[in-house]
Amino acid sequence: MAGMLYLCATPIGNLEDITFRVLRTLKEVDLIAAEDTRNSQKLLNHFDIHTPMTSYHEYNKYDKAEYLVGLMLDGKNIACITDAGTPGISDPGEVLVQKCYEAGIKVTSLPGPAACITALTMSGLSTRRFAFEAFLPADKKQRAQILEELQDETRTVILYEAPHHLVKTLEELFKTLGSRKVRICRELTKKHETVYADTLDGALAHYRDIEEPRGECVIIIEGADREDLNKQKQQSWEEMTIEEHMALYEDMNRKDAMKQVAKDRGVSKRDIYQALLKSESN
């Protein structure tokens, strides 16, 4: 019989956050695939776990995943752990899970800490709907595209950022999103855990001029106001002539285009029809 993959969540700071189930599993599996074996060895030593480890990280995630899948097909049970938190969330564990499904290997996830959820729940911002973006891309074009998409994002947005990039990222966020509410969460679950609450421009000034950023950061940003977005769209429609607006829907037949323009502008289709008649008669 084939083995199984166990995604084991590990503490993001406080070692007491590990679960009994994860500890038992890490002791019972045949092998632990760890993002950084040196870092994970400290965790295993603390809990007196002697299971063999192998490295599985961003730079070997494809070839090593094939190797690990081969071991599981031969009957080995493997646990995957990240440096901190839940494997598969913004780390190479995602690739290993995909390869397991392709090979027909059973996968289970042992719940536990995740920095994004920990920060969101203590942020005081809306938790009903949220968008997790992890780290913004380093590529300038991709980064600009995602920032532009976030302008109209009405859900609470969660980002990760390194301390030495925090000020630059806050500058870009403020330039793109304006003065929205934000929470900067650092050193989560640790002794010096902090949540800085402000607006994007206020947080930018704080970390640029007052406090040097330290520790990995989780940025929680208020979503765009849906009513404001609707007003902006309505205003943009009203700045167009009816003919210009109709031209946006040139792939539709005339009747459907008039219906869509009327919907955009919040008027009746008859109003649009009359306006077009008047324009064409002039």
Rounded to whole angstroms, how far apart are CA atoms 184 and 209?
Answer: 16
pTM for the predicted model, two decimal places: 0.82
> What pLDDT, on the 0 to 100 scale, is given for residue 233?
77
- Specify the 3-state DSSP secondary structure of 183: strand
> What pLDDT, on the 0 to 100 scale, is given for residue 282?
65
Tokens of 126: 């809306």
Regions of the chain with pLDDT less than 50: none
* pLDDT tens readout for residues 171-199: 999 999 999 999 999 999 999 999 999 99
* pLDDT tens readout for residues 61-89: 999 999 999 999 999 999 999 999 999 99
Contacts of 26 (CB under 8 A, 6+ apart): 8, 32, 44, 47, 49, 51, 79, 81
Q: How far is CA 230 from the centre of its chain?
A: 25
Contacts of 30 (CB under 8 A, 6+ apart): 3, 51, 52, 71, 76, 77, 78
